[in-house]
Structure 1
Amino acid sequence: MKKYRVLFVCLGNICRSPMAEAVFRSRVAAAGLDDRIEIDSAGTGDWHVGKPPHEGTRRLLDRHGIGYDGMRARQLAPEDGGQWDLIVAMDASNERNIRQIVGGSASAEVIRFMSLLPERGVTDVPDPYYTGNFEEVYEMVDAGCERLLERVKDRLADG
């Protein structure tokens, strides 16, 4: 059975996208769907390649009992566009960069994370690398991942 593949993307792949990857992975496992859904994250930039998630992200994930073992930053590659079903951009700049990197022939659907939470009236997940507000980002990511799981369950049911 083919897995549904979800890739979260931010700028450096140490704050927002690994947080979303870990939270979504935890929700998918709790739903008993880890054999049906594959999850990863990447960054559009290469500054942090090979590094673990940011200390602020790790601290929040630890507090919520969410694992991140083995997670290391990687850079988005052109071939990712054909290897993932859904690429989730954390902000508008990331979305533009994703589309440039993977090109127009990519089969992956590209969405902005906050499109999962339209009632918030916010289009981008703020970057806590610059704001320092990891709590705010965790709250957005947690709520958005809940919605994303429902969306992916519907896709799995549709075959």
Structure 2
Amino acid sequence: METKVLFVCMGNICRSPSAVGVLRHLVYQAGLQESIKIDCAATHDYHVGEAPDGRAQFVSRKHGYDISDIRARQITPADIKEYDLILAMDWESLSYLQQMGVRQDHHKMMLLMRYANDYEEATVPDPYYGGVDGFFKMLDYLEDACQGLFEVLSKRVTQYQVA
């Protein structure tokens, strides 16, 4: 049983590709890459085709994640149907997703930070207009939330493998 996870933010060059880097690392470490598929997309088409922001790549590399292969793309209605979990970085992205999708798909759309264990913030702040410190803070949030998400996903995968 494969689980497909899609991270979504406004431009798909800072938060969502960084989240892919974190979760992809956890999934590969556990050898679950055949069971958990990860991708990201934007609500807006501002940066389609671009690599992640240089600051996001720098901070990710400092933490051991390579996100240089990711290219920004805009979410499509087909994505809403295809993915099992669609995780928004902020309230605006979540609202966009809910407006885009049909009501019966709303159950798979939620804020990523609901999986966080150490941070109580509801959203991952957008670091785009600030300095590199904002990117380090963003990655702290993403590491926390992705660890919680990974714990849930790995339990789900193992249950299906045992059954």
What TM-score range do you get, normalising by the shorter chain? over 0.9
| Deviation of the 1:107 alpha carbon | 7.3
- 2:103 is paired with a residue of what secondary structure? coil
Match of 2:12 in 1: 13
* 27-36 or 110-119, which deviates more: 110-119
The one-character-per-residue Cα deviations of 1:9-68 (angstroms, maximum 9, x if unpaired) are 000000000000111101100011011110000010000000000011100112122122
Q: Distance in 1 between matches of 2:57 and 2:28?
A: 19
Aligned runs of 1:78-93 on 2, under 5 Å?
A: 78-93=77-92
TM-score by length of 2: 0.90
Match of 2:58 in 1: 59
The one-character-per-residue Cα deviations of 1:127-146 (angstroms, maximum 9, x if unpaired) are 00123310000011011111
Structure 1: unaligned runs, 5 residues or longer? none
Q: What amino acid sits opposite 1:150 in the alignment?
A: E
| Deviation of the 1:118 alpha carbon | 6.0
Q: What amino acid sits opposite 1:76 in the alignment?
A: I
Q: Distance in 1 between matches of 2:72 and 2:8?
A: 10
- 1:25 is paired with a residue of what secondary structure? helix
Match of 1:126 in 2: 125
* 101-110 or 91-100, which deviates more: 101-110
* 66-75 or 34-43, which deviates more: 66-75
State the identity %.
36
Q: Is the 8 A contact 1:77 1:102 kept in 2?
A: no
Q: What amino acid sits opposite 2:128 in the alignment?
A: Y
Figure out how many residues of one structure are paired with residues of the other and give that number: 158
Structure 2: unaligned runs, 5 residues or longer? none
The one-character-per-residue Cα deviations of 1:89-141 (angstroms, maximum 9, x if unpaired) are 00111100011122324376111011112653311110001233100000110
CA RMSD of aligned residues (A): 1.6
CA gap of 1:127–1:38, structure 2 versus 1, over 3 A, is same
TM-score by length of 1: 0.93
Q: What amino acid sits opposite 1:96 in the alignment?
A: S
Residue 43 (structure 1) aligned with residue 42 (structure 2): yes
- 1:155 is paired with a residue of what secondary structure? helix
